[in-house]
Amino acid sequence: MTILCTDRDKLEIFLKSNLKEKRYIHSLGVETMAVKLAKLHGADVEKAAFAGRYHDLAKCMTEEELNRIIRLYGISDEYMNNQALSHSKVAEALLRYEFGVTDEDTLAAVSGHTTGRRGMSLLEEIIYVADAIEDNRSYKELKTLQKQAETDLDGACLFIMDYTIDLINSKGRSLDRDTSEARDYISERIARSTNDK
């Protein structure tokens, strides 16, 4: 399966020229981890590599640039002046409208990599988890989570979501609805899986 991208060379130049070196290294790390998880869990490896590599395409853009693209492509106003959440939506729009990417699962994985969502696909979950556990991250639970993700992707995903929600709450920031719904969705799926055993 080939990801339809009108000009992969142009996309790669855009990525390298718009990301700081540390963020570019992170993107390569997410690509590597996403490929590993895709192979282990039976997801499309090419889609995982592509979404992992380009998920942060807009991460280093200024708030002004992000707002301009939000307006240009009719992305919801709720993402205005919110770089933390808008960069994933803007990355999805750039891939779709500027670089001709048409695969909806790949686009959804890029769009939801910061929040997740209810009903997320296997590919979306892989990119969400890979973003948090790629080798360049440095927190004490990293190796444990990497090991868990190999055999229990839902469990690793739930841990990351719980951690994210606790962090957002501790900072007194408002929680994106998609994140709370994604957490409930994964939690329900784990409960169903446990009950089926």
Q: Report in angstroms the alpha-carbon separations of 78 from 63, 67, 70, 83.
A: 13, 11, 10, 11
**SS3 state of residue 177:** helix
Domain ranges of the chain: 8-138
Q: What homologous superfamily does CATH list for 8-138?
A: Hypothetical protein af1432 (1.10.3210.10)
**Rounded to an integer, what distance in angstroms lies between the CA atom of residue 31 and that of residue 48?**
7
**pLDDT tens, residue by residue, 89-113:** 999 999 999 999 999 999 999 999 9
**pLDDT tens, residue by residue, 123-160:** 999 999 999 999 999 989 899 999 999 999 999 999 99
Predicted confidence (pLDDT) at residue 4 exceeds the cutoff of 70: no
**pLDDT tens, residue by residue, 30-71:** 999 999 999 999 999 999 999 999 999 999 999 999 999 999
**Rounded to an integer, what distance in angstroms lies between the CA atom of residue 48 and that of residue 51?**
5
**SS3 state of residue 131:** helix
Least confident of 131-140, 152-161, 166-175, 184-193: 166-175
Question: Following DSSP, what letter does each residue of 46-113 receive, concatenated?
Answer: HHHHHHHHHTTTTTTS-HHHHHHHHHHTT--GGGTT-HHHHHHHHHHHIIIIIS----HHHHHHHHTT
Tell me the whole-structure pTM to 2 decimals.
0.94
194: its two tokens: 């446990």
155: its two tokens: 């469990």
